Amino acid sequence: MTKKASTLKHEDLVDEIVTRYPPKVARKRRKHMVPVNPGTEQKIEANARSVPGIITQRGCCYAGCKGVVLGPIVDMVHIVHGPIGCSFYAWGTRRNQGKAREGGQNFLEYCFSTDMQPDNIIFGGEKKLRKAIEEAYEIFNPKAMSLHATCPAGLIGDDVVGVGQEMSEKLGIPILGFACEGYKGVSQSAGHHLANNGLFEEVVGLDDDVETDKFSINMLGEYNIGGDSWEIERIFEKCGIKVISTFSGNGAFEDMSKSHNAKLNIVQCHRSINYMAEMMEDKFGIPWLKVNVIGLKATSKSLRKIGEYFEDAELSARIEEVIAEEEAAAEKEIAPIRERLQGKTAMLFTGGSRAHHYQFLFKDLGMKTVVAGEEFAHRDDYEGRKVIPDIKIDADSRNITELKVEPDPERYHPPKSAEEIASLKKEGMLSNYDGMLPDMTDNTILVDDITHLEQEMMIASYKPDIVCSGIKDKYIFEKMGIPSKQLHN
C-alpha cells in the first residue's frame, strides 16, 4: 500500500483505487463508488454482475430465497435439493432465532437436504426428492414445506416446482417449490424476489378467520437476527400495536396466511421484501411505510410515523409515553459507552438495509460511519425509489417473474380513502424510501458490491476503529488490526 493512499481525500481515494484495475474493470468499478457530496444529485451503479475474478461478498439466488426469506419461517420444513454443503450454508438456526407458537412446531434446529450424490447428478434426483418429502412428512407432520433447487439440480433439469405440486396433492399440505438455482440473477436479490412471489401466491390470504386489531400491522423485512424482532415486538405491544405476522424472522406459516388482514405494512429491509409490500397493497389495499427499528432515535422516529399514520390521539400519546420510558432506560446504559466511543469511526459492508440503518445506531453512540455499502442493493436502495422509472431492466432481472396483481374483488379493503392514501404518498410517508445516500455525510464513500482491494485501500486511508461486515472478509480486517463485527449474525 502506498503512503499516498493513507492521506487521500474521498474523491482522490476512489480515483486512486481504480488505477489498480485493468482499464475495462476500472471503468466498471468506478460507477459503483460514490464519494459523497451532500446536497448534490449523485448516481451509483448497482445490481450488476460482479467482475469475474474479483472477490465479492455476495451470495447466490438460492441463498436469498432459502437462506434469507424462507429459512426463518419456524413451522415449515425447508428441504434443499442439492449437495449437503448448500443446505448447511443456508441453515438459519445459526443467526435467525425462532420459537414455536403455543401448541405449534419449530423446525429451525433441523437441516433438511436430499444430499445429492454423483449418481443423482447422472440419473436425476427427483425420485430422491419425493422420498425426502415423504420421509419428512411422516416423521414431522408439518403444516407446510418448501423445496429449494440448487445449481446442480437446475443444471440437470430436476423440476422442483413440479415435484412440489405433485406431492402437495398427494399429501394434502402446501408444498412450495422454488426454482432458485444459485446462478440465477446477479446476487441473492434474485432469490428474495422469487421467495416473495411464492409466499404471496401460495400463503398470503389463505386464512380469513381472524379478528384484526384496530392498530394491526405486518413487519416486513425483519429477520430476527440474534432476536431483534422479539425486542421490536415488545415495544410495539407496549404501544398497543398488534403485529399479525413478521416476514420472516420468527415467522410462522399460520401467521403469514392471515397477514392480508393487517391495516398497515411496515418495511425494514427494503430490498428483500418491497415486492411483497407492493403486491399486498395492489391486491388487498394495505399501504406500506418504510421504517428503521435499529438504533434508539431511529426507532422512536419510526414509532411516531406509525402513530401519525393511524391518526389516533390516544395511540400517539401512548407511543410518546413508551418512547420516554425506553429512551430514559436506554440512555443510562448508553451514556458511559458513548464517552468511550465519541468521535470513533466505522465502515459498514453488509447486505440488506443494515449498512444504512446501523449508521443511526452508531450515531447514537457518538460514532461516524465513513464508508458504507451493500452486497445486493439496487439503485433505489441507494438513491431512493424516485429513480425506479430510470432503472434499465437487463436480461438478468427479466429472468425473475414480475407477478401481475389485481385487486381482490372481495378482500380489497384499504384502511383509508384513496384520496388520503394518495396524499400520504405525495407527502412521502407511504410507499416511499429515500435510500441510503441522502443520510451519508461529507468525506464519506458509498460503495456497491465492494471488493477486497477497495476495502483494504479504504481502511488504509480512513483507519476506522471498527469494520462491520460478513464472514467472508472479517478475518482480513482482523489481520490488519481492525476489530470486526458481523452484522449478518
269 an active-site residue? no
Instruction: Name the burial class of residue 10, with classes exposed (0-12), middle (13-18) and buried (19+) by CB atoms within 10 angstroms of its CB.
Output: buried
324 is an active site residue: no
From the candidates 27, 94, 101, 411, which is the catalytic residue?
94
Hey, is 113 helix, strand or coil?
A: strand
Instruction: Return d(Cα 468, Cα 440) in angstroms, integer.
Output: 16
| Catalytic-role residue among 5, 46, 61, 63 | 63
- Whether 431 and 418 have beta carbons less than 8 Å apart is answered as no
**Cβ–Cβ < 8 Å for 177, 147:** yes
The set of long-range contacts for 205-209, using a CB threshold of 8 Å and a minimum separation of 24, is: 205/257, 205/260, 205/283, 205/284, 205/408, 205/411, 206/257, 207/254, 207/257, 207/258, 208/261, 208/411
Taking the C-alpha atoms of residue 34 and residue 337, their distance in angstroms, rounded to an integer, is 32
Angle 330-302-242 (CA atoms, 0-180°, nearest 5)? 95
CA 312 to chain centre: 30
The torsion angles phi and psi of 82, rounded to 5 degrees, stand at: 170, -175
369, β-bridge pairs = 346
Q: Report the C-alpha gap between 328 and 388 in whole angstroms.
A: 40
- Spatial CA neighbour of 232 closest among 286, 268, 279, 275: 268
Q: Are 183 and 154 in contact (CB under 8 A)?
A: yes
Set 10, 29, 32, 60: catalytic member: 60
Contacts of 235 (CB under 8 A, 6+ apart): 293, 299, 303, 322, 326
Decide: residue 339, CB within 10 A, 0-12 exposed, 13-18 middle, 19+ buried.
Answer: exposed
Pairing mode, strands 112-113 and 175-178: unpaired
- Cite the DSSP H helix spans in 203-312: 228-239, 253-256, 270-284, 296-310
- CB distance 456 to 477 below 8 Å: no
**Is the distance from CB of 79 to CB of 176 less than 8 angstroms?**
no
Residue 94: active-site member: yes
60 is catalytic: yes
Q: How far is CA 445 from CA 17, 28, 163, 339, 365, in A?
A: 12, 17, 47, 26, 21
C-alpha–C-alpha distance, residues 123 and 356, integer Å: 47
Are the C-beta atoms of residues 161 and 179 closer than 8 Å to each other?
yes
Residue 460: all three cell numbers together: 488504509
The residues carrying an active-site annotation are 60, 63, 94, 192
